[in-house]
Amino acid sequence: MRIPGRLRNPVLVLLLLYTFLVSIALIGTGFKLFGSGLAGWLFTQTSNPFIGLFVGVLVTALVQSSSFTTSFVVGLVSSGTLSVTGAVPIIMGANIGTTVTNTLVSMGHVTRNDEFERAFAGATVHDFFNFILVLLFLPLEISTHFLQRTATALSSALYGISTGGGTFHSPVKLAVKPVKEGLKELFTQTLHLAPSVAGVLILTISLILLFVSLTGLVRVLRTIMSDRVENVIDKWVSRNALLAVTLGMLVTFFVQSSSITTSFLVPLLAANMVQLQQVFYITMGANIGTTITSILAALTGNSAALAIALVHLLFNLAGTVLFLSVPFLRTLPPALARRLASVAVKSKRYALVYVIGVFFGLPLIMVLLFDLV
C-alpha cells in the first residue's frame, strides 16, 4: 500500500520511534542474559564517579550523540546491570561529550578569521556551560546524592500509580514486549543458543536498532522542522533570555538532538546574525530539550530507569535555573568562550588540540589511569 506524501514523514517518525523503544527494551534483555558477572564488573568500574564521568564524555564524543549514550544507560539501569548511583556521572559526562559536534562544525569557518572566531566562541560556549555545570554539581552529587534522591522520589511517585488495588502498566512496555520476548525465545529456545551467546546477539541487534532509529529520527525531524526552526529563531531569539531558553528547549524536543540545535546556530553566529549571549541561552534550553529522549527510553523500563532519566532532566533544569538566576554566571561561559576563540584564531592548531584533547585524549587517559589505580 502506497503511503500519501504528506503522511510519509509522520508514519516514518512513528515507525522509527517504535524501533527506538524496542532497541532500549532489548538492551536490558541482552544484558540480563549475560548473567551476574558482567553486572558485577560494571558496578565495580562505575563505583568511581570520575571513571563514569570520563566514560560518558568519551563514548558520547565518539558516537556524537548524547541521546545514544543516555538511552543506552537507561537500558543498563533498567536491566539492573548498572546502578542509578553509577549512572549519574555518565549522564553528566554525556552532556559534555555531545558538544563536540558543534565544535567540529565551527571548523568549517577556519579559513576566515572573523567568522571562525565568532563560530568557535559559539560552539565552545556550550562546552564551558557544561564544564562549569559538572564542576558545580558533581561534587555536590557525590556528597549528598541530591539529584539521585529527588529523581528516585519522583520516579517512585510516578511509577507507583495505583488504581483499584492494581499497579499501572506502561502501554509502551506492552507494545514492545512481543518483539522483546519473541527475539529472546528465538535465540534461547528455538535455536537453543547459550544465554551468553544469545545475550551478545540481542545486544548487538539492540545497538544497531538504537543507532539506526536515532539517526533516522534526527534526519526525518530535521527535514520536517528545518524551515520552521530558522523562522522561529529569527523571530523570537532576540526577545529575552527566558524566551531564548524556551526556544532552545522546544526546537531540541522536536528535532530530538541538541547537536542539531546548537550546530545550526554556529553558522548564524559566524555570519553575525545572532549574538553569543543569545546562543548561550538557546544552548541551555537545548540541554533541557534533549532529555526527552532518555525519558522516552525509560518508558520501556522500570522505576530505576525512570529515575536516571529524571536525573538527566533535573541536572539540566537545575543548571539553567542557577545560571539564569546569578548575573555573574550568565556572562561567564560567553566570556570564557570569547577568550578561547581569540587564542584559537591566532593559531588554528590550538583549536585542534582543544577538540582532540578535551573530548578524546583527556577522557581516554583518565579512564586508563583510574583503571590502573
Can you tell me whether residue 300 is helix, strand or coil? coil
Residue 92 is predicted with a pLDDT of 93
User: What's the structural domain count of the chain?
Assistant: 1
Q: What is the pTM of this model?
A: 0.77
DSSP code, position 191: S
Residue 234 is predicted with a pLDDT of 60
Q: Could you tell me which residues come within 8 angstroms of residue 335 by beta carbon, excluding any fewer than 6 positions away?
A: none
pLDDT tens digits, residue range 94-129?
888 888 778 877 877 777 888 888 889 988 999 999
Model confidence at 165, pLDDT cuts 50, 70, 90, reads very low
Q: Could you tell me which residues come within 8 angstroms of residue 305 by beta carbon, excluding any fewer than 6 positions away?
A: 74, 75, 77, 78, 297, 298
Cβ atoms < 10 Å from Cβ of 270: 24
Checking if the pLDDT of 228 tops 70, the result is no
Model confidence at 239, pLDDT cuts 50, 70, 90, reads low
CA distances from 139 to 50, 53, 54, 136, 172 (A): 10, 12, 15, 7, 35
Q: How far apart are CA 185 and CA 187, in angstroms?
A: 6
Q: What is the dihedral of CA 198, 202, 208, 211, to 10 degrees?
A: -140
Q: What is the mean pLDDT of residues 226-255?
A: 72
Q: Could you tell me which residues come within 8 angstroms of residue 90 by beta carbon, excluding any fewer than 6 positions away?
A: 46, 52, 53, 55, 56, 69, 73
Q: Which has more pLDDT, 158 or 73? A: 73
Q: What is the mean pLDDT of residues 5-20?
A: 77
Q: Which has more pLDDT, 202 or 176? A: 202
Q: What is the mean pLDDT of residues 189-201?
A: 85
What are the strands, taking DSSP E only, across the chain? 162-163, 166-167
Count CA atoms within 13 Å of residue 191 on its CB side.
Answer: 13
Q: How far apart are CA 274 and CA 343, in angstroms?
A: 22
Checking if the pLDDT of 299 tops 50, the result is yes
Q: What is the mean pLDDT of residues 294-303?
A: 80
Residue 324 is predicted with a pLDDT of 92
Query: What nine digits make up the cell of 109?
Result: 569557518
From the list 258, 301, 309, the residue with the least C-alpha distance to 101 is 258
Q: Could you tell me which residues come within 8 angstroms of residue 24 by beta carbon, excluding any fewer than 6 positions away?
A: 71, 74, 75, 78, 206, 210, 297, 300, 301
Q: Which has more pLDDT, 13 or 284? A: 284
Model confidence at 169, pLDDT cuts 50, 70, 90, reads low
Which structural domain range is residue 169 located in?
Answer: 5-372
Query: What nine digits make up the cell of 284?
Result: 541551555
Q: At what angle do helices 303-325 and 146-159 cross, to 10 degrees?
A: 130
CB 183 within 8 A of CB 26: yes
Q: Which has more pLDDT, 259 or 75? A: 75
Q: How far apart are CA 113 and CA 7, in angstroms?
A: 45
- Written in H, E and C, the secondary structure of 23-48 is HHHHHHHHHHHHCHHHHHHHHHHCCC
